Amino acid sequence: MRTARYFILALLVVAAPALAAALDAPHDKSFLPGNCQECHQLHNALGSSLTTQVTISDACMSCHGQHPNTRLGFPWSSTDQAVHKVSGVHHRWDATAVQATVGTSLPSDPEMSKRIIAGKLECSVCHNQHAANAPFAPASSKLVSIKVGTAKTATRAWPTGLPAGTAQLTMVSANLVTATVKGYNLRITSPGNVAVSHDGGTSWLRPTSNTGAAWVADAATPVGGPYSTTVDLAMDDPAVVVRIGAGAAVNDTWDFYVSAPMLRSPNLTGSLCMTCHQDRAKGHGDVESGGDGVKVFSHPVGEALNTNGRNYDRAVPLDADGGVQGVSGDTNATNNLELGSGNAVTCTSCHAPHNADSSSITEDAR
C-alpha cells in the first residue's frame, strides 16, 4: 500500500510541470501564481470539479468579481447579468441551460454539454479556463492587457517590499493578428538594461539591441540587455512593441499579456453561440421563405453578405453608429460590426457576450 502511495505521489510530481504548462495567459505563471491550487483542492473540495468554490463560476468570480481591471471592466457583478427584456450587460453564467422563453437548449457541442452542472450554465461551458484556443475566435477578439497608446506605471515585484515605481511603459503597438498568446514580466535589471520572462521569473530572455531586434536566453538571475527611452522596443514577439519611459530604476517591473477569449468551441461563424441558441441557425432561405406561425425566424447567421444575390447588402458594414469603420479618428473599436470567417455575419457581429451596453457612442471595456 505504501509503495502504491509513493508511486501516485511520484506521478503527481512528474505531472506537475506539465499541468502548469497547460495554462495559457493570463491564467499562467506569467501573470498570476499559476498554481492548480488557486482554483482546485484535492480534499474537502466544495465543488464537484475539485474546486475551492461550490461552482466553477463561483471560482471564476472569486477573481473576476473582485480585482479591478479597467481593460476588461472588472470587477463583474452577478447583478450585471442579463435579465431577458429588462437589463444587464453580460450573458448569464448561472442560468438554467434550457429556457423555452429565449429558445435555448442543451449544447450540441459535447465538450460544452458535459459542463452543464445540474442543468445550469457555468462560465466553463463557453470558456476554457486553461487554454486560450486563439484559432477558435476572430483575431480581432485577441486582447493586449495594456491598451495600445496607453501607459502603465511600474511596480516593484522583485524583491518584494520595495516602494512602487514611477516609470511608465507605453504600449506602442500590438498586431493581434500575428501576436502569440503569452504573458510578459518585463524587469529593469540594471540602469539601461531590461529582461523579460514568460513563466513568472523561472527563465529569462534579454534583447541584444536597444530596439529589441533579437532576444537571447538570459541567466536565471537576469543580466538583461540594452533599451532606450527614446526608441521603441520590440518584444521577443515582434508583434508587440513598447516604449520604456525615463526614470526607470532597478527592479521596476511591468506585467502584461496577450490573450484570446479562451473559448471552449470554435465561434468563427457563430457556431459556439448556436450550439445553445439552435433556433438561431438560419440562412437567408429560412428568413425569406415566409412565416408559418410556428418557426422562429432571425437574422441569417454564418453567411456572407449578399449570399442571396439581391445586391442590397453593403460590401463592408458600417459602425453601429453609422460611421465608416477604421477611418482616421475612429478610436472606438467596440462599435464595429465585424464579420467572421469567410466574411460571414456572426452572432457577435452585432452582439457582445460581455460588457454590452447597447451604446454605439461609448467605448466598452473589452
Per-residue model confidence (pLDDT) at position 116 = 94
Q: Quick check: 100 pLDDT over 80? A: yes
Per-residue model confidence (pLDDT) at position 136 = 95
Q: Quick check: 158 pLDDT over 60? A: no
Q: Which three cell numbers stand for residue 238?
A: 515582434
Other CB atoms within 10 Å distance of the CB of residue 31: 21
Compute CA distances 17 → 34, 221, 241, 243, whole Å. 11, 21, 30, 33
Q: Quick check: 282 pLDDT over 90? A: no
Average pLDDT, the chain: 87
> 228-267, pLDDT tens digit by residue?
999 999 999 999 999 999 999 999 999 999 999 999 999 9
For residues 215 and 222, give the distance between their C-alpha atoms in angstroms, rounded to a whole number: 13
Q: Which of 283, 257, 259, 222 is nearest to 137 (CA)?
A: 259
Please state which of the ranges 49-63, 165-179, 205-219, 256-270 shows the lowest mean pLDDT: 49-63
3-state secondary structure of 251: coil
Q: Quick check: 274 pLDDT over 50? A: yes
How many residues in the chain?
Answer: 366
More confident: 193 or 283: 193
More confident: 63 or 31: 63
Residue 110 pLDDT class (50, 70, 90 cuts): very high
- Residue 180: alpha-carbon gap to chain centroid: 12
The upper half-sphere exposure of residue 300, i.e. CA atoms within 13 Å in the direction of its Cβ, equals: 18
For residues 159 and 80, give the distance between their C-alpha atoms in angstroms, rounded to a whole number: 39
Per-residue model confidence (pLDDT) at position 107 = 96
Percent of the chain with pLDDT over 90: 60
Please state which of the ranges 144-148, 197-201, 223-227, 295-299 shows the lowest mean pLDDT: 295-299
Please state which of the ranges 118-127, 137-146, 156-165 shows the lowest mean pLDDT: 156-165
Per-residue model confidence (pLDDT) at position 173 = 97
Residue 366 pLDDT class (50, 70, 90 cuts): confident
Per-residue model confidence (pLDDT) at position 122 = 94
More confident: 205 or 333: 205
For residues 241 and 248, give the distance between their C-alpha atoms in angstroms, rounded to a whole number: 18
For residues 119 and 46, give the distance between their C-alpha atoms in angstroms, rounded to a whole number: 18
Longest dimension (CA), the chain: 75
Read off the pLDDT of each residue in 109-117 and give the average, rounded to a whole number.
94
Q: Quick check: 16 pLDDT over 60? A: no
**74: which DSSP letter?**
B
Please state which of the ranges 6-10, 140-144, 156-160, 198-202 shows the lowest mean pLDDT: 6-10
Per-residue model confidence (pLDDT) at position 50 = 83
> 332-360, pLDDT tens digit by residue?
888 889 899 999 999 999 999 999 988 88
Please state which of the ranges 30-44, 72-86, 229-243 shows the lowest mean pLDDT: 30-44
Q: What is the DSSP string of 28-43?
A: STTTS---GGGTB-SS
